[in-house]
Structure 1
Amino acid sequence: MRNLQSQIENQSEKLKKPFQLACKRLFDLVVSLICLVLLSPLFIGVALCIYFEDGRPFLFKQKRSGLHDNIFAIYKFRSMKINPVESAEQKIQEKHYWENGVPDSFVFKTASLHNPNITRTGKFIRKYSLDELPQFLNVLKGEMSIIGPRPEIIDITKYYNETQKQRLMVKPGITGLAQVNGRSSMDHGEKIRHDLNYVRNFSIWMDMKICVKTIYQVILGKGSV
């Protein structure tokens, strides 16, 4: 944690762009409010599909690493069955895998391609990223931004090396530079490189380009699982 704090302090001047950060926060608030209002019928439709297929709850909360590695609960539409099956052996293998550092070749969602725990509704909302829509609530609360590195699972970030920890220097986002350059198909090393590029070169113009590319990818359902 000290090393992360030291990195934050060393790069704080590079990341200080008061006007652009203020514009980014205003953009987050306005767009989130608009989306929550305009997409409310879609929210209700997705919730009903989840309920009629697999009951309640239709929302899923999970702890993730946020800005400066602060923990928060991310909101998603539930895409997995209420009682998913995961073997103890798989958990042990993953823990052993990460304890030596998260390797660049690691691809977290490959196991999701044929996961029997994903519901029919879940497959659809994942394909078109509809499961991520409730995160506009996280944006309103100030825990996330619309654009930024995706919030990582705590069991992964606690094994980050010093370089990987640098992606925690900005607020996590609903979408980001890594997502528009491959989404779930890229490995961990590629994701980190894109995220660090965003952290080091953030600008409002970059955010706008990521927004446009995200809309394009969501419509086509490219790179998701």
Structure 2
Amino acid sequence: MRSHEAKRRRAIPQEFGKRALDVVISVLAIVVLAPLFPVVWIAIRLDSPGPAVFRQRRIGRDEKPFNCFKFRTLCHKADENVHREAIRRAWAKESISNDPGAPYKLTDDPRVTRVGRWLRRTSLDELPQLLNVLTGEMSIVGPRPAIPYELEYFRDWHHKRHIVKPGITGVCQVRGRGRLCPEVMLEMDVEYAMNWTLWTDLKLIALTFPAVLRGRGAR
């Protein structure tokens, strides 16, 4: 009991530090990237009909659902069954891509728009999630927020990834999400959730930039 209480007390300043880091980085990023937001918004609207910002129900900390924001990269009202089938095949360890370097990433999704391909390649589609970070629903670093139907494939211990807030970037994004099967990604997410530190977060943030430049890990 004493060990548990000591661990909990140590976690309080870590949680405070993580939240402070989230607020500082998200505010700075929004200020610096503010001129880019209207450019992306206009490009999306000119490229295809539909709203520029896409809201999707995702699973947050303690498995509480929330609305996750992204710049829209798919055709408006795209059929979600395409992604559902891709998830099923990925869990069966079947390749869902023509790219041998990213067998578990849906790289040739016919629903993706022209601008959407560019946004995904540069990870700019994730920028609106800075608002989710500011509201406390997400963190800069953490497991990617799961779509509710993905939980159908989780084993009991996979749910431990939800003891922390989902993040914009994380271990899987840095190590190349498309090259990893879903179960391996969840193992990495659980390992992060159980053992994260502020130093770990800072390292992952630093490693995100070269990962984005290489075009790895976008989702």
Q: Normalising by structure 2, what TM-score?
A: 0.85
Match of 2:174 in 1: 180
d(CA) in 2 for partners of 1:150, 1:30: 20
> Which of 109, 114, 122 is 1:115 aligned to?
109
Match of 1:128 in 2: 122
Match of 2:162 in 1: 168
Sequence identity percentage: 35
The residue type equivalent to 1:187 in the other structure is C
Distance 1:129 1:64, change over 3 A: same
Q: CA deviation at 1:115?
A: 1.5
Q: CA deviation at 1:114?
A: 1.4
The answer (yes or no) to whether the contact 1:28–1:140 under 8 Å persists in 2 is yes
Asked if residue 207 in structure 1 is aligned to residue 195 in structure 2, the reply is no
Counterparts of 1:89-104 in structure 2 under 5 Å? Answer: 97=88, 103=91
Match of 1:150 in 2: 144
Counterparts of 1:83-94 in structure 2 under 5 Å? Answer: 83-85=77-79
Q: For 1:152, what is the secondary structure of its paired residue?
A: coil
The answer (yes or no) to whether the contact 1:106–1:188 under 8 Å persists in 2 is no
- The 10-residue stretch of structure 1 (137-146 or 38-47) with the greater mean CA deviation from structure 2: 38-47
d(CA) in 1 for partners of 2:117, 2:141: 24
> Which of 189, 196, 199 is 2:190 aligned to?
196
Distance 1:93 1:219, change over 3 A: closer
- The 10-residue stretch of structure 1 (102-111 or 59-68) with the greater mean CA deviation from structure 2: 102-111
d(CA) in 2 for partners of 1:12, 1:168: 21
Q: Normalising by structure 1, what TM-score?
A: 0.83
Asked if residue 70 in structure 1 is aligned to residue 64 in structure 2, the reply is yes
The answer (yes or no) to whether the contact 1:47–1:58 under 8 Å persists in 2 is yes
The residue type equivalent to 1:58 in the other structure is A
The count of corresponding residues between Structure 1 and Structure 2 is 209
Q: CA deviation at 1:218?
A: 1.0
d(CA) in 2 for partners of 1:144, 1:177: 15
The residue type equivalent to 2:149 in the other structure is D
Q: CA deviation at 1:75?
A: 0.2
Match of 1:46 in 2: 40
Q: CA deviation at 1:37?
A: 1.3
The residue type equivalent to 1:67 in the other structure is R
* Larger RCO (CA within 8 A; separation ≥ 6): 1
Distance 1:189 1:159, change over 3 A: closer
Name stretches of at least 5 consecutive residues in structure 2 with no aligned partner.
98-103
- The 10-residue stretch of structure 1 (148-157 or 77-86) with the greater mean CA deviation from structure 2: 77-86
Q: CA deviation at 1:172?
A: 0.4
The answer (yes or no) to whether the contact 2:173–2:218 under 8 Å persists in 1 is no
d(CA) in 2 for partners of 1:25, 1:34: 14
Deviation per residue, 1:64-106 (Å, 9 max, x gap):
111010000100000001142466xx688679x59xxx94737
Q: CA RMSD in A?
A: 2.7
The answer (yes or no) to whether the contact 2:86–2:96 under 8 Å persists in 1 is no
d(CA) in 1 for partners of 2:123, 2:73: 11
d(CA) in 2 for partners of 1:224, 1:74: 15
> Which of 26, 30, 39 is 2:24 aligned to?
30
Deviation per residue, 1:27-84 (Å, 9 max, x gap):
1011111111110111111111101111330000000111010000100000001142
Q: CA deviation at 1:134?
A: 0.3
